[in-house]
A and B are shown apart, each in its own frame.
Chain A
Amino acid sequence: MKSSVIIFPGSNCDRDMDVALKKFGFENQMVWHNDAEIPKSDLIVLPGGFSYGDYLRCGSIAGKSRIIKSVIDFANSGGLVLGICNGFQILTETGLLPGILQQNKYLNFICKNVFVKIKNKENKYFKKIKKEVLELHIAHNEGNYFCSHDELKSIEDNGQIAVTYCDHKGNDDEKNNPNGALKNIAGIFNKDKNILGMMPHPERMIDPFLSGEDGSLFFENLIESL
Chain B
Amino acid sequence: MVEVNEKIAIEHGLKSDEYKKICDLLKRTPNITELGVFSAMWNEHCSYKSSRRHLKKLHTKGDQVIQGPGENAGVVDIEDDDAIVFKIESHNHPSFIEPYQGAATGVGGIMRDVFTMGARPIANLNSIHFGSPDHEKTRNLLRGVVKGIGGYGNCIGVPTIAGQTCFDESYNGNILVNAMTLGLVNKNKIFYSKAAGINKPVIYVGSKTGRDGIHGASMASAIFDDKIEEKKPTVQVGDPFTEKLLLEACLELMAGKSIISIQDMGAAGLTSSSIEMASKGDLGIEIDLTKVPCREENMTPYEIMLSESQERMLIVLEEGKENEAKKIFDKWNLDFAVIGKTTNSKNIELFFKNEKVAKIPIDFLAENAPMYDRKWIKAKLPKENSFSKDQFKSLKLSDCLKKVLIDPNIADKEWIWDQYDHTVMGDTIQKPGGNAGVVRVHGTNKAVAAAVDSSATYCHAHPLTGGKQVVCESWRNMIAVGAKPIAITNCLNFGNPEKEKNMGEFVECVEGITEASKYLNYPVVSGNVSFYNETKDKGIKPTPSIGGIGLLSNYKEMMTMELKNEGNYLLVIGKTEGHLDQSVFARNILSELNGPPPEVNLFNEKQNGMSILNLKNKNLIETCHDVSLGGILTAISKMVIKSDKGVKLFPLEGLVNKFEYFFGEDQARYIIEVKPENLENVENMLKKDSIHFDKLGLVDSNKITLENDLKLSIDDIKQGYKNWLKEYMVN
Contacts and interface: CB of A to CB of B under 8 A. Distances in A.
Interface of A: 9-10, 12-13, 15-16, 19-20, 48-50, 52-55, 108-112, 137, 139, 141, 201, 203-204, 206-207, 209-211
B661 to A, nearest CB: 36
27 contacts: A9-B241, A9-B245, A10-B245, A12-B155, A12-B424, A16-B426, A19-B426, A48-B424, A52-B241, A53-B241, A53-B242, A108-B418, A108-B419, A109-B154, A109-B418, A109-B419, A111-B417, A111-B420, A137-B423, A139-B154, A139-B424, A203-B426, A204-B424, A206-B426, A207-B426, A209-B440, A210-B423
A172 B426 CA distance: 27
Instruction: Kindly name the residue among A15, A55, A111, A112 whose own CB sees the greatest number of chain B CB atoms within 10 A.
Output: A111
Contacts of A48: 424
Nearest to A7: B248
Contact of A139 (B242, B423, B429, B558): B423
Interface string B310-349: 0000000000000000000000110000000000000000
Contact of B422 (A10, A111, A207): A111
A53 B246 CA distance: 13
A20 B428 CA distance: 15
A49 B558 CA distance: 29
Contacts of A211: 423, 431
A12 B426 contact: no
A207 B555 CA distance: 13
* Range class of the B interface residue count: 20 to 34
B646 interface: no
A211 B432 CA distance: 12
B295 interface: no
Contact of A111 (B240, B423, B558): B423
B62 interface: no
B160 to A, nearest CB: 9
Contacts of B428: 210
Interface in B381-423: 417-423
A137 B245 CA distance: 26
Contacts of B556: 209
A12 B157 contact: yes
Interface in B505-551: none
Interface in B124-178: 147, 150-151, 154-157
B379 interface: no
Contacts of A203: 426
Contacts of A52: 241
Contacts of A20: 426
A141 B421 CA distance: 10
Interface string B413-456: 00001111111111111010000000010000000000000000
B44 interface: no
A164 B558 CA distance: 34
Given A53-B239, A53-B241, A210-B429, A111 B418 contact: yes
A13 B147 CA distance: 21
A209 B429 contact: yes
Given A110-B418, A139-B421, A50 B155 contact: yes
B244 interface: yes
A52 B426 CA distance: 22
Contacts of A55: 241
Instruction: Kindly name the residue among B151, B157, B241, B333 whose own CB sees the greatest number of chain A CB atoms within 10 A.
Output: B157
A44 B556 CA distance: 33
B241 A50 contact: yes
B244 A50 contact: yes
B426 A50 contact: no
B424 A9 contact: no
Contacts of B427: 210
A53 B332 CA distance: 13
